[in-house]
Structure formats: structure tokens, C-alpha cells
Amino acid sequence: MLTLLLQATSSEQIPFSDSAGTAASYLNMSDLPHLMLNLVIAALLGALIAFHPLRLRRDANIDWEMKKCQILICILGVILVEIVAGELALAFALVGVGSFIRFRTAVQNPLEGAIIFVQVMIGMACGGNEYWMAVVFTGFVFALLLVLNVRAEQYTELWEVKTQGGTADHCRAMFEQLATAEHYRIERLNLKLMSQVFVCRFRPPSTVDVPAIDQEFLGLLESKPDAIQWNCLRGG
């Protein structure tokens, strides 16, 4: 089975080279307006789905990094189609690269995972002598990331709160209420109901006053936890 697969893929022509080994491009500079239009439409449609109004019910619960990742994945689809162009050999190569990134790389942020895939596509374009295509993709993604992060400048610190004991689900509900009032941006929630542990990573608009916020949080809780820990994971 593996032998047949290798024979099938080896018989396919790599899209960037012809039989003489010279560069053979599917695209040229005259296709640039059409390519840019594809990228812009993909970004707009991706944003339309990612920021669907029915999904934006509570600002504190929006996973902004995941929203950015969803938009970037739409862009990645355009890049994939332009580079792979139906070639079986490149498609199998991308599956292997994707599996390596998924299972061998400790990527905690979904946006970083999407960026890694985009960088793989840009590298493949460079490897196929499609330098202008790589420059276009790089420039567009660079500008898109600037737009997606234009509102994130004040949310530079990353904090984690962890409660042990008490009622974890109640702690989660009360912290979401606190986050809404304080305009915290929640990035990740984790509940361990068996051990009654609640963990949340969030970004405050300014530096957290731990004693004050700890007292405010405790005031909202009906069932007091055994311990509350506040940790700054990343400073501004």
C-alpha cells in the first residue's frame, strides 16, 4: 500500500517545476489583483462568521485569540489553494507537516498555531521560487494581524486565577460577573468538578490590584473556596 502511494505521488508533477527542472508558475504578476481580492473576501467572510452577533453575548467570554485564528484559517484556505493547486504530492506533504505541528509542537495559543501553518505555506512558496506570491501573502497576513490586534494594546498583561475547594462552578459564574464589571478579557476557562478546582486565564485592561480584586471576588462568593491564587503570567 505504501509503495503504491509513493509511486502515485512521485508520478505527480510538482506545481513549481516543469519536466526540465525550470520554474513553472501557475500564477504571474497579472494575477495579483485577483489574488488580493480572494484574500480580502476570505478575511471579510471569515470575520463575518467569527464575530456573528448571536455568538457575542457577553464581552468577557469572547475568546479573541480564537476569533483571530478563525479569520486567519480562512486566509490559510486561499493560500493552500494557490500553492497546492490540486497537486497530490504537495497535499500529502502538507498533511505530514500538519500532523507534526499538531502532535509534536506545544502550541497553547490557537492563533500561534494558525500562524505556524501560514508560515509553512510562505516557506513552500519560497521553495517553489514563487517569491512574489510569498511577499504578497506575508504582507497581507502582516497587515491583517495589525488590524486584528489594534484593540489589544491595553490588554498586554496575562493573569491566572485559581480556586481550590468550595463550588468550582459557582466560582466560575461569579468570576465571569466580576470580569464583565472590570472589563477583563477571558482567554481560557477550566473546571475540574471532581476536585472542585476552577482556573481562568484573563487579560485586564490595566495592572491588577490583587488585594482589592481578591476582596471583591470573595464578596461575590456564597461558598468560600479553600484557597485563591492570583498569578501574573505575562507582564505588560
Residue 73 lies in a domain: yes
138/229 same-domain check: no
The pLDDT of residue 61 is: 52
The pLDDT of residue 9 is: 40
137/164 same-domain check: no
186/123 same-domain check: no
| 70/114 Cα distance (integer angstroms) | 8
36/125 same-domain check: yes
C-beta neighbour count of 5 within 10 angstroms: 11
pTM over 0.85: no
The pLDDT of residue 3 is: 42
140/217 same-domain check: no
70/173 same-domain check: no
46/139 same-domain check: yes
> What is the residue-averaged pLDDT of the chain?
74
| Boundaries of domain holding 168 | 158-234
* Contact between residue 168 and residue 191 where contact means Cβ atoms under 8 Å apart: yes
The pLDDT of residue 117 is: 77
The pLDDT of residue 60 is: 46
The pLDDT of residue 89 is: 67
Residue 109 lies in a domain: yes
The pLDDT of residue 198 is: 93
- Which residues, given as ranges, of the chain have pLDDT below 70? 1-29, 52-63, 85-111, 127-128, 149-155, 236
Q: How many domains does the chain have?
A: 2
87/191 same-domain check: no
Residue 106 lies in a domain: yes
Beta bridge partners of 224: none
Strand order in the sheet with 158-164: 185-192, 197-203, 158-164, 227-234
116/184 same-domain check: no
| 122/120 Cα distance (integer angstroms) | 5
